[in-house]
Chain A
Amino acid sequence: MKGEKAVVGVFTYMDDLLTAIEKVKAEKRDFRVYSPFAHHLIEHATSPGRSPVRFVNGTGAMLGLIAGFALAIWCAMDWPLRVSAKDVVSIPGFVVIGYECTILIGSLAILAAIFHFCRLPNILRKVGYDPRFSDDKFGLVVGCSSGEVDKVEASLKDAGADEVEVRDGL
């Protein structure tokens, strides 16, 4: 988070939080919102763009599909053994392998994408985090310089923050 100070606003009400986010965005400040659950209002207010997780997932799924068929076909060709007059490379029989590998690699790609884009594991970067943000409060953390602290503090209080705290930035 940019700025030597982090001003933490604790909110009970969603509309107050959204008002504060709009103000901070208008002032073009760096900010982070914490919430105990996902909500579309927060998502719309903060990140209108779509997550790139789906591209990683799609790539993983395609790779899985190719890998599954390639494995089955290559194994069949490596030791050709015709059984019951069936084709050595019998695509219908290999569909199950391709199908399962698509799901497996696609799902593992989602896991990797979530960890990558969420920057997990994240032990040290909890700037402005408060345990209440996993309970019943919403948090808005705004990065700013020391000289702007009072202005940001007033802005959050004005939006309806229950309490405002100033911490060192990272």
Chain B
Amino acid sequence: MGEAAKKEIGYKDVNDQVLRMLEPPGAGWYIQLFICVALVIVGFFCWTRQLLFGMGMAGIAHPIMWGVYITNFVFWVGIAHSGTLISAVLYLFRAKFRQPIYRLAEAMTVFAVMTAGLFPIIHVGRPWFAYWLMPYPNERALWPNFRSPLVWDVFAISTYFTVSAVFFIVGLIPDIAAARDRAKTFFRKMLYSITSVGWTGSHSNWRHYMAGYLLFAAFATPLVVSVHSVVSWDFAMGNVPGWHATIFPPYFVAGAIFSGVAMVLTLIIPLRRVFKLHDLIRPEHFDAMSKLIMLTSGIVTYSYLTEFYTAWFSNNIFERYQFWFRPFGEFKAAFWGMAFCNCIAPLSLWIKPLRTNITHLFILSIIINIGMWLERFNIIFTSLAREFVPAAWGGYNFSWVEFGITIGAFGWFGMWMTLFIKFFPAVAITEIKEVMPVPMRNPEAAGQHH
């Protein structure tokens, strides 16, 4: 029996509860949008300073040439990751707890990739030449080096964005049609009529749609593995102490799912409260997400320990020094912060009541996201700060420009999420109905139709 059915809500109630979210917004929504747009303006102002006065405005300097921007890039790609896991992988496994949360997770994926994609462009310094990464005929007959992990990354991220966006939009079409059929204002009617592309839910529509959706899920699933594996190869293919390890792809994939599920919790808990979605998003869903966090936290912790073990076992002085430097060197606060947030704090979920304690989950989700940002910081900064030649060692000074662009990215992400939840159904109407009991006039005789 479906989760939503436990309170005996009907199909109409699902439409009522979800489409109520699209009603004209209150002051709180405008305040949230204003804060997000203000942060975007701050970020844009900082970026213009960097464009006008050069990369010196950022703290990037030898030897840490990747700095905060690549940390942010990896962080946001990681956030994007679990959306596809929840929407595609859990769809193939027929996990019913995904239904009320997957739409928001998919939206999070698309907007997080849109955020992540900004950082390589910001980082290259001259963004008007960013298209050089793409293979295109040019006057020098030069092509990108397809053996470079950075070019793999361009293909992996652009494919991920395209496929995630298509999967997200296709999934939205039947629900937009439901919104269209209840729209009251001319603007909304036009918006939903155009974006639902005339969807009617005829048996022919559903037949091809469901076949395509299953294939989408099957094609998006390898992306869950590939995207963060490719991102991890940006590091692992380089002969840098602390980076050159075969454990990186599974370690990054688990970390990405870990941070992404935490971000889903950060977003869905306030949404559930504000829009009173308690009947649709129930304690069982939080319990299932908590278990996913416990699993991925365990994998991440194991990976951290494995890194230390392999550094010791390799008997390589550069590796050994790197893994001494991380917990005891200049950036030790980041290491211990990461260890607390990603390894220690999630252990609280082994206590069953805390897996459904909403306040606890909300605080923990924020702690995990801080921890996962620190993890990327830890990987990038410490390894670049202590490569092979001591004469080339160095530190890092953050600049206000980097800080401004970082918070601007959060504003950018928040702005799209804020707009999305007010204009499009943030909870999947049709898929919730699919797991509800079908109304039968004669339930005993219904079996003969099978």
Question: Assuming A39-B438, A110-B216, is B211 touching A33 (CB within 8 A)?
Answer: no
Q: In the complex the two chains form, is A118's CB within 8 Å of B208's CB?
A: yes
- Specify the chain A residue showing the minimal Cβ separation from B207: A47
Specify which chain A residues have a CB less than 8 angstroms from the CB of B230 in the assembled complex.
Answer: 96
Q: Mark A69-111, 1 if CB is under 8 A from B, else 0.
A: 0011001101100010010001001101101110110111011
**Distance of B8 from chain A, by nearest CB (Å):** 14
Q: In the complex the two chains form, is B174's CB within 8 Å of A134's CB?
A: yes
Q: Mark A129-157, 1 if CB is under 8 A from B, else 0.
A: 10111111000000000000000000000
Specify which chain B residues have a CB less than 8 angstroms from the CB of A115 in the assembled complex.
Answer: 197
Q: In the complex the two chains form, is A96's CB within 8 Å of B156's CB?
A: yes
Q: Is B95 an interface residue (CB 8 A)?
A: no
Q: Is B124 an interface residue (CB 8 A)?
A: no
Interface residues of B in 132-175 (CB under 8 A from A): 135, 141-147, 151-152, 155-156, 158-159, 162-163, 166-167, 170, 173-174
Interface residues of B in 401-450 (CB under 8 A from A): 429-431, 433-434, 438-442, 445-446, 449-450
**Distance of A24 from chain B, by nearest CB (Å):** 12
In angstroms, Cα B438 to Cα A51, docked, is: 24
- Most chain B beta-carbon neighbours within 10 Å: one of A33, A101, A134: A134
Taking a contact as CB atoms closer than 8 A, the residue among A47, A76, A121, A134 that contacts B203 in the complex is: A47
Taking a contact as CB atoms closer than 8 A, the residue among B11, B135, B199, B212 that contacts A71 in the complex is: B135
- Specify the chain B residue showing the minimal Cβ separation from A75: B143
Q: In the complex the two chains form, is B178's CB within 8 Å of A13's CB?
A: no
Q: Is B190 an interface residue (CB 8 A)?
A: no
Question: Assuming A36-B178, A75-B144, A122-B199, is B208 touching A113 (CB within 8 A)?
Answer: yes
- Most chain B beta-carbon neighbours within 10 Å: one of A50, A100, A101, A106: A100
Specify which chain B residues have a CB less than 8 angstroms from the CB of A94 in the assembled complex.
Answer: 146-147
Specify which chain A residues have a CB less than 8 angstroms from the CB of B198 in the assembled complex.
Answer: 120-126
Q: In the complex the two chains form, is B204's CB within 8 Å of A110's CB?
A: no
In angstroms, Cα B12 to Cα A50, docked, is: 31
> Binding site of B, secondary structure by majority: helix, strand, loop or mixed?
helix
In angstroms, Cα B15 to Cα A113, docked, is: 28
Q: In the complex the two chains form, is B203's CB within 8 Å of A33's CB?
A: yes
Interface residues of B in 206-246 (CB under 8 A from A): 206-212, 215-216, 219-220, 222-223, 226, 230
Taking a contact as CB atoms closer than 8 A, the residue among B152, B215, B440, B441 that contacts A54 in the complex is: B215
- Specify the chain B residue showing the minimal Cβ separation from A92: B147
Specify which chain B residues have a CB less than 8 angstroms from the CB of A45 in the assembled complex.
Answer: 449
Count, chain B residues at interface, CB 8 A: 69
Q: Is A29 an interface residue (CB 8 A)?
A: no
Q: In the complex the two chains form, is B11's CB within 8 Å of A136's CB?
A: yes
**Distance of B284 from chain A, by nearest CB (Å):** 21
> Binding site of A, secondary structure by majority: helix, strand, loop or mixed?
helix
**Distance of A35 from chain B, by nearest CB (Å):** 6
Q: Is A114 an interface residue (CB 8 A)?
A: yes
Q: In the complex the two chains form, is A160's CB within 8 Å of B441's CB?
A: yes
- Specify the chain B residue showing the minimal Cβ separation from A137: B11
Q: In the complex the two chains form, is A75's CB within 8 Å of B202's CB?
A: no
**Distance of B225 from chain A, by nearest CB (Å):** 10
Count, chain A residues at interface, CB 8 A: 71
Specify which chain A residues have a CB less than 8 angstroms from the CB of B166 in the assembled complex.
Answer: 107-108, 111
**Distance of B38 from chain A, by nearest CB (Å):** 36
**Distance of B136 from chain A, by nearest CB (Å):** 11
**Distance of B222 from chain A, by nearest CB (Å):** 6
In angstroms, Cα B147 to Cα A152, docked, is: 66
In angstroms, Cα B207 to Cα A94, docked, is: 37
**Distance of B217 from chain A, by nearest CB (Å):** 10
- Specify the chain B residue showing the minimal Cβ separation from A93: B147
In angstroms, Cα B204 to Cα A107, docked, is: 20
In angstroms, Cα B213 to Cα A57, docked, is: 11
Q: In the complex the two chains form, is B206's CB within 8 Å of A15's CB?
A: no
**Distance of A121 from chain B, by nearest CB (Å):** 4
In angstroms, Cα B151 to Cα A94, docked, is: 10
Specify which chain A residues have a CB less than 8 angstroms from the CB of B200 in the assembled complex.
Answer: 34, 122, 126, 129, 133
Q: In the complex the two chains form, is A15's CB within 8 Å of B431's CB?
A: no
Specify which chain A residues have a CB less than 8 angstroms from the CB of B205 in the assembled complex.
Answer: 118, 120
Task: Report A's interface with B, CB cutoff 8 A.
Answer: 12-16, 18, 32-39, 41-47, 50-51, 53-54, 57, 61, 71-72, 75-76, 78-79, 83, 86, 90, 93-94, 96-97, 99-101, 103-104, 106-108, 110-111, 113-115, 117-126, 129, 131-136, 160
* Pairs across A and B, CB under 8 Å, 9 listed: A32-B202, A32-B203, A34-B202, A37-B174, A37-B206, A51-B210, A71-B146, A96-B155, A99-B226
